[in-house]
Amino acid sequence: MSWETKLPATLETLTEAAHSAPAVFATSLGVEDMVLLDLIAGNSLKIEAFTLDTGRLAQETHELIARAEERYRRRIRVYFPQTEAVEQYVRINGINGFYLSKPQRQDCCGIRKLEPLRRALAGKAAWVTGLRREQSEARADVARREDDRSFGLVKFNPLIEWTEQEVWDYVRAHDVPTSRLHDQGYPSIGCAPCTRAVQPGEPARAGRWWWEADSAKECGLHVQAADTLFVSSKEAA
């Protein structure tokens, strides 16, 4: 298989999402999301792109937002966390309190990611993500289209069947802009203090919250309501 053979199903899913107006596309600026942005912009689909600026992103991510906006002539809407909530978290836990325990890490993700995501998805009918089944065990059962009970809308995952190789083949074929962090060994793009480069052979998400022992490296963005109230051990970026 190749990305060319999977592209028709991907475009069909994106078109269905666009018809489920209002639809939005959540991008972390990772390579999968850059492929989706290229497809959405290239096919003039009415799907607004947004990202969550947690206040702890790498400079490379901000630089890519600017590069992508210039390339695609589209604004990527940026949602920030609530100032008061961040200030209170830091007052209680310290500036890097997320390293101290898993609940403290989950609280930080709740404030910096989940609350802004809820605002970004409020009033929307559908959202699009760059999840791929290959990325982790927690994502092995992801469907192309699913009811997202956590946020009360339909979630479209157009790249579920793409392999990492196919994603990069598409990027090279279309000269898609990507994060300079990928060149430094970061397969997954997240907050700077919570993401490290991985070694050859390590799982793609091994660099996320690497100090936590358990295997479910997720942060809540892609967890169904039945599995969690606000944060859970399967939270996702």
Is residue 19 helix, strand or coil? helix
Residue 191 among the catalytic residues: no
- Residues in the chain, overall count: 237
Q: In whole angstroms, how close is the CB of 191 to ligand SF4 at the nearest point?
A: 3
**In terms of CB distance, is 98 or 156 closer to ligand SF4?**
98
Question: Cα(131)–Cα(138) distance, rounded to whole angstroms?
Answer: 11
Least distance (Å) from ligand SF4 to the CB of residue 222? Answer: 14
Q: Are 189 and 197 in contact (CB under 8 A)?
A: no
Encoding tokens for residue 7? 């592209």
Nearer to ligand SF4, 13 or 54 (CB): 54
Beta bridge partners of 145: 156
Alpha carbons within 13 angstroms on the beta-carbon side of residue 108 total 25
Q: Would you call 203 helix, strand, or coil by DSSP?
A: coil
Task: Determine if the peptide bond prior to 22 is cis (ω within 30°).
Answer: yes
Q: How far is the CB of 112 from ligand SF4 (least distance, A)?
A: 4
CB closer to ligand SF4, 95 vs 229? 95
What residue is closest to ligand SF4 based on CB?
A: 191
Cα 203 vs. chain centroid, distance in angstroms? 17
The residue among 185 and 193 lying less far from ligand SF4, judged by its C-beta, is 193
Q: How far is the CB of 130 from ligand SF4 (least distance, A)?
A: 17
Contact residues toward ligand SF4 (CB under 6 A) are 54, 56, 98, 105, 108-109, 112-113, 190-191, 193-194, 219
Give the N- to C-terminal CA distance of the chain in Å, as an integer: 28
Catalytic sites, residue numbers: 219
